[in-house]
A and B are shown apart, each in its own frame.
Chain A
Amino acid sequence: MSLTDHDVKNIAHLARLELTEEQLPVYVDSLSKIFDFVAQLDAADTASVEPMAHPLADQVQRMRPDEVLDSDQHAKYQRNAPRVEADLYLVPKVIE
């Protein structure tokens, strides 16, 4: 299935990935190939089949007790942050 430039630009935006003008045709090409390949799935008879989100059929979600187990470790965690001030993570201004 062929994707258009517009399709790929849209997806790149949704995924917040920068796409230069040089890169665009490369991705259009490889993504189109992938979707051509994936089109094989159309052949399957899935009319009365339930989708499978987890591989082990009878697993159900465990619930944990409502307990606070963590202490304040923000100093340790913020060592990895690109920009921190007054214990807040800084990002370019968010316009509302």
Chain B
Amino acid sequence: MMSWETVIGLEIHAQLATRSKIFSSAATAFGAAPNAQANLVDLGYPGVLPVLNREAVRMAVKFGLAIGAQISPRSIFARKNYFYPDLPKGYQISQYEKPVVEKGRMQILLEDGTVKVIGITRAHLEEDAGKSLHEDFHGASGIDLNRAGTPLLEIVSEPDMRSAKEAVAYLKKIHTLVRYLEICDGNMQEGSFRCDANVSVRPVGQEKFGTRCEIKNLNSFRYIEKAINYEVARQIEEIESGRKIVQETRLFDPDKGETRSLRSKEEANDYRYFPDPDLLPVVIEQDFIESVRATLPELPDQKAARYIEKFGLSAYDAGVLTASREMGDYYEAVLAALKAKNLEGNEKLAANWTMGELSAALNKDGIEITQTRIDAERLAGLLARIADETISGKIAKEVFESMWAEGKDADTIIEAKGLKQITDTGAIEKTIEEVMAANPKQLADYRSGKDKLFGFFVGQVMKVTGGKANPAQVNELLKKKLAAG
């Protein structure tokens, strides 16, 4: 039985978050009425000409710097020629031989905790095409050119990934990065972050790559994993059945979980790339690069490393907290607020609550962390009460829910609901005695050896005190009182 190795390369198209298009001054905002944002340049009218948007170049350079890539001092726009109704000029302005960014890398964290470096061959600027709508027009398709001319950064990885999981990990890192850099909103549903996967297999040990297929229409992390796994299995089956892999483009069908061949491609397109004569070479000088470098935020990997080193968080926790810039900002705001209360040293607690309760609440309400109903200051307020043992962790969950629903701070709710932890030894002892008196059979059983009933008594004490008795004290006192007698 042959042992197979999977080889994956990803091509990501990230729509850059500029206000206007890459070569025209029409707006790029999503959701406008059909063709309301397609100006004469976007429509490819006779006589119009492209002029380059500086912000698109800045964003590309920003990305290049963040992945440690080379910024080409001189790059060229080329025309990629083909006919399609959503491509108004009959060519796409892209970059071919001299892209703006080359030779970068991205680290990913594998499941076993090791770090792998994925090479990024290049990232180049190009314009997006419009959209074809196929429904409702009896035998015709309707073309909306609002999207035509939106700047794209095409990010091409080396074929360095060896499993669907690695591919997803890489994709997530890039997704996080472009949002950190504020160059792309990463909205996969709206199509501002798209991914195609190039997949091939080869026998383990073989150097030569197998024939690859390109899979398109991957617009969620889940689909990508499914699609790649399906494709790998398909290719292995084909080869093992004695057939050759046909180099082709395939579409992923999420309903069936399968990839299928794109019918219309009879032969490979000859794009006849040549330098666009309407655009001049793009010269990027050192001071342009430095001015962009000055705007780089702390990058996700740097931030995660800082969390691990300074706060003692695990690589996993650091990864989760730095998955978005907003999450990291929130977390650090919580820490700052705790520090102001002289409660440093609670980084793990803050991490657990941010990743746990807060994230769960955000997900439930379907909102982003920027729309949170409990701001960092308030969460810190709650955590402070756990830290100083005013309430137990369990009660804190209740308080959190009320804070979320009512928009009040922790202290107000604790006061209003009388949720302060009971730490008075006398009061606890009294409750214990009441519980013991109310449950003579269990008491007798416990004393005759049924140790498991300890939990029962703990539960009963908690019930009577509404969960507010300090658990550690309850344990200590209950042990003493149950033993005696």
Contacts and interface: CB of A to CB of B under 8 A. Distances in A.
Contacts of B141: 90-94
Contacts of B226: none
A72 interface: yes
- The majority secondary structure among interface residues of chain B is loop
- The majority secondary structure among interface residues of chain A is loop
B37 A72 contact: yes
Given A53-B277, A96-B262, A64 B54 contact: yes
Contacts of B43: 77
B18 to A, nearest CB: 5
Interface string A49-73: 0000110000111111111111011
Contact of B26 (A70, A86, A92, A95): A70
Given A69-B25, A94-B85, A62 B139 contact: no
Interface in B243-279: 251, 262-264, 270, 272, 275, 277, 279
Interface in B74-125: 76-77, 83-85
A63 B52 contact: yes
A72 B143 contact: no
B39 interface: yes
A60 B283 contact: yes
Nearest to A10: B270
Given A60-B282, A72-B33, A85-B142, A66 B54 contact: yes
A64 B25 contact: yes
B404 to A, nearest CB: 39
Contacts of A16: 83
Contacts of B145: 89
Contact of A66 (B20, B34, B134): B20
Nearest to A64: B51
Among A14, A67, A74, A87, residue most surrounded by chain B Cβ atoms (within 10 Å)? A74
B36 interface: yes
Contacts of A87: 33-36, 144
A54 B277 contact: yes
B142 A68 contact: no
A20 B358 CA distance: 69
A86 to B, nearest CB: 7
A44 interface: no
A78 interface: yes
Contacts of A94: 84-85, 132, 134, 141
Contacts of A70: 24-27, 37, 39
B85 A89 contact: yes
Contacts of A92: 139-141
B42 to A, nearest CB: 9
Given A66-B55, A67-B25, A90-B143, A74 B85 contact: no
Given A70-B24, A94-B85, A96-B251, A62 B52 contact: yes
A68 B137 contact: no
Interface in B194-212: none
Nearest to B36: A72
Contacts of A91: 85, 140-141, 143
Contact of B54 (A14, A65, A77): A65
A65 B56 CA distance: 10
Interface string A5-47: 0000000001010000000000000000000000000000000
20 contacts: A16-B83, A53-B76, A54-B280, A59-B280, A61-B77, A61-B283, A62-B280, A66-B19, A68-B19, A70-B25, A70-B39, A85-B137, A87-B35, A88-B34, A89-B35, A89-B142, A90-B140, A92-B139, A93-B137, A96-B263
The 7 closest A-B pairs by CB, nearest first: A88-B142, A66-B55, A63-B54, A69-B25, A61-B280, A72-B36, A89-B143
Given A65-B54, A77-B45, 8 more contacts: A16-B83, A62-B51, A66-B56, A70-B27, A70-B37, A85-B140, A92-B140, A95-B263
